[in-house]
Structure 1
Amino acid sequence: MSLKLRSADFHCDVLMKLLEDESRSFTNEERTELDVTLPKLRQGGSVLQTFAIYIPERMEKSMMPILQSIDLFQRKILTSPSLKWIRTRQDVNQLNGSGSIGALLSLEGADGLQGELSMLRILYQLGVRAVGLTWNRANWGADGVLENRQGGLTGKGREFVAECNRLGMLLDVSHLSDKAFWDMVDITNKPLIASHSNARTICDHPRNLTDDQIRALIAMNGRIGVTFVPQFVIAGRTARVDDILLHVEHICTLGGEKHIMFGSDFDGIESHVMGLSNPGELENLQEALLQRYNEALVSGFMAQNALDYLLEQLPAGSKIQ
């Protein structure tokens, strides 16, 4: 297939793997410890990769491993001349025709901030531009999606949302409980993203979004990162690329064709969708999409919807107001 569209991915866990063992290589073509590497991003036509800071549950919930992850991002990822750090909308504009791959830094789970908004501001100054308040469990700010009590945002969590809105920090709902999701929808004044979640109607998993949640994200001009986590794609059998298309189609039927992007969760998963184990295999997804949708729509799904969101929602400059 000769056509290769640009690709964007709003979630991977390379930094977690580097935090566990920094001898792993992001740039070496011969090494295979990582799903997401520079050679595989180039092979997949990447124009944007979001690198999540995720601190494994066995590690301390403090700023220390978060800062170590940022250090790894700067030393192991950004040192490649092919990577451009994305912090402002101007940075996104400069990707056009440059041949560079944008690198966006996000935080998955704000446990380590311990409710201190000063820590959030410091992370903004250090270049973090997206944050999910929880992982799957409860913390100081909200309940995660697998917390039994299924509570919403705490008072501190509400302050956190307001400060993210003020700073221009993108808010990610992928791991929130349903109650916390709706609390955040009620109080945010900026469009939200679900960086790596699918449609619960297609695959009934609590990490996936209900139709009402999908409609809410669409209504606020947010984004939904269709993910490649096999158990979020289909239950009971091996997931295939065509199964991902069921989620894409369902979101489209709800009016979300301009709101779909992808959030692979590469390096955060132990098994893969058949034929989609790393960014170098994204051509298989592109080809399947082009059999069903026109090139303009597929270009949106693959990258442009994500880039448009960043152009609209990232701050104009890095300085805190």
Structure 2
Amino acid sequence: MTSMNIIDFHCDALLKIWENKGNLAFHDAGELDVNKKRLLQGGVKVQCFAIFTPPDMPSEQKFQAALDQIHYFYVEVLGKNPEMKQIRNWSELDLLQEGEIGAILTLEGVEPIGNDLKRLNILYRLGVLSVGLTWNPANLAADGVLEPRNAGLTAFGKEIIQFHNEHKILTDVSHLSEQSFWDTLEVAVYPIASHSNARAVCDNPRNLNDEQAKAMFAKGANVHVVYCPMFVKETGVTTIDDLIRHIDHFCSLGGVRQIGLGSDFDGITTKVMGLEHAGVSQNLINELLKRYSEEEVRGFAFENFLRNRPV
């Protein structure tokens, strides 16, 4: 059994902590797929924590909800767990010591900023390093994958990406409509898919088609596979083998040095068998090692992102 460091580019632990008004201990709460104990057990060296505001929340409440989730990140995740170290710029990934876990804030949907770029700057100053313009619906920046008109970026969405480019913030394409995706690739210097699978393997609109995946790889961008069963397999019990088929497919498109992992833990209610929480993350690593070289698996687990991150 080989244990190797993992960077997980997407979880919703902050949403769960916020929904429970801070009454879940990040140290070891069993209700959390991602807690410190499970990160250590699973060899997760860097965890990204998404800020997400529910789509049915009144718009005027969303910025405060985002700030409240950041509050819990500082108080519950970092403040009570000295092993958790916030990554505020990409170079700090190289400074993590043995026993430390890097923690990165991300934003899933720019609804909290309304039409005010100053709010995005505040979130950046608080540590947000990756931003997805929208979740599944449309907003002031872009259309998401479930918006029927499939329009692209707005002028405001392009302004947001220019801010990202200037500050080395990743622009996450995982929930974008197809037209928004192509518009983003024209503008973004640092695109990433934080949690997306291959549409050729599982025909779900949240997944990337082959042309999108090849365009990401051509641009030097990482695509992080997601453990959400409905994006892994259309029906039936979902296994680690089913998830690896997405990695196989992305490799066949030339992405072997740009594949990563983005679990979506705490944002999913059903699980891949053997990948029920962060503590069993090495199960995926050990299955991958049966099919790929250790160097390739280290790439998927951690090193591809280190190599391709903004500098």
Partner of 1:285: 284
C-alpha deviation, 1:18, in angstroms: 0.8
Alignment partners' CA distance in 2, 1:33 and 1:119: 31
1:68 aligns with 2:82: no
Aligned counterparts, 1:208-287, within 5 A: 208-287=207-286
Which amino acid in 1 is paired with 2:185?
V
Aligned residue for 2:166?
A: 166
Distance 1:42 1:55 in 2: 28
Distance in structure 1 (CA, Å) of the matches to 2:301 and 2:239? 18
| Contact 2:44/2:101 (<8 A) preserved | yes
Corresponding residue number in structure 1 for 2:56: 58
Distance apart, 1:159 and its partner CA: 1.1
* Structure 2 Cα separation of the partners of residues 182 and 204 of structure 1: 19
Deviation digits for residues 245-286 of structure 1 (CA, Å, limit 9, x no counterpart): 100000001110110000000000010001101111112111
Please give the alpha-carbon distance, in whole angstroms, between the structure 2 residues aligned to 1:187 and 1:128: 20
- C-alpha separation between the residues in 1 aligned to 2:89 and 2:157? 25
Amino acid aligned to 2:57: M
Deviation string 1:186-241 (CA, Å, 9 cap, x unpaired) is 122x1310100000000000000011110111111111010000000001111100
For the 8 Å contact 2:225–2:263, the answer to whether it is kept is yes
Q: Which amino acid aligns with 2:241?
A: D
Q: Give the counterpart letter for 2:232 in structure 1.
A: V
Q: Which residue of 2 aligns with 1:138?
A: 138
The runs of at least 4 aligned residues of structure 1 exceeding 4 Å deviation read none
SS at match of 1:12: coil
CA drift at 1:290: 0.4
Amino acid at match of 2:256: E
Deviation at 1:59, TM superposition (A): 2.4
| 1:51 aligned counterpart, secondary structure | strand
Q: Residue type of the partner of 1:261?
A: G
* 1:123-176 CA distance string (max 9 Å, x none): 111111110000000000110110111110011111111111112111100000
Residue equivalent to 2:199: 200
Tell me how far apart the structure 2 counterparts of residues 143 and 58 of structure 1 sit (CA, whole Å).
17
The secondary structure found in structure 2 opposite 1:11 is coil
- Check conservation: 1:196, 1:262, Cα contact below 8 A: yes
CA distance in 2, matches of 1:26, 1:126: 20
Partner amino acid, structure 2, of 1:93:
D
In 2: Cα distance, 1:203 partner to 1:54 partner: 25
> Structure 2: how far apart are the matches of 1:290 and 1:60?
47
Q: CA deviation at 1:60?
A: 3.0
Q: TM-score, normalised by structure 1?
A: 0.93
Distance in 2 between residues matched to 1:5 and 1:58, nearest whole Å: 40
Structure 2 residue 46 is the aligned partner of structure 1 residue 45: no
Code of the aligned partner of 1:141: A
Structure 1 contact 25–33 (Cα < 8 Å) conserved: no
1:107 counterpart SS class: strand
Q: Is the 8 A contact 1:87 1:104 kept in 2?
A: yes
2:94 match: 93
Contact 1:16 1:56 in 2 (8 A): no
Letter in 2 for 1:99: G
Shift of 1:89: 2.8
Asked if residue 182 in structure 1 is aligned to residue 182 in structure 2, the reply is yes
Find out whether 1:11 has 2:4 as its counterpart: no
In the TM superposition, residue 58 of structure 1 has moved relative to its aligned partner by: 3.0
Residue matched to 2:83: 82
Local SS of the residue matching 1:161: helix
SS at match of 2:148: coil
What are the ranges of 5 or more consecutive residues in structure 1 without an aligned counterpart? 315-321
Contact 1:191 1:217 in 2 (8 A): no
Shift of residue 99 of structure 1? 2.5
Aligned position for 1:152: 152
Q: CA RMSD in A?
A: 1.1
User: What percent identity do the matched residue pairs reach?
Assistant: 44
Aligned-partner residue type, residue 175 of structure 2:
H
Q: Distance in 1 between matches of 2:236 and 2:180?
A: 31
Quick check: 1:66–1:112 contact (8 Å CA) kept in 2? yes
Give secondary structure in 2 for the equivalent of 1:292. Answer: coil
Q: Which amino acid aligns with 1:227?
A: V
State whether residues 261 and 301 of structure 2, in contact with CA within 8 Å, keep that contact through their aligned partners in structure 1: yes
Give the unaligned 5+ runs of structure 2: none
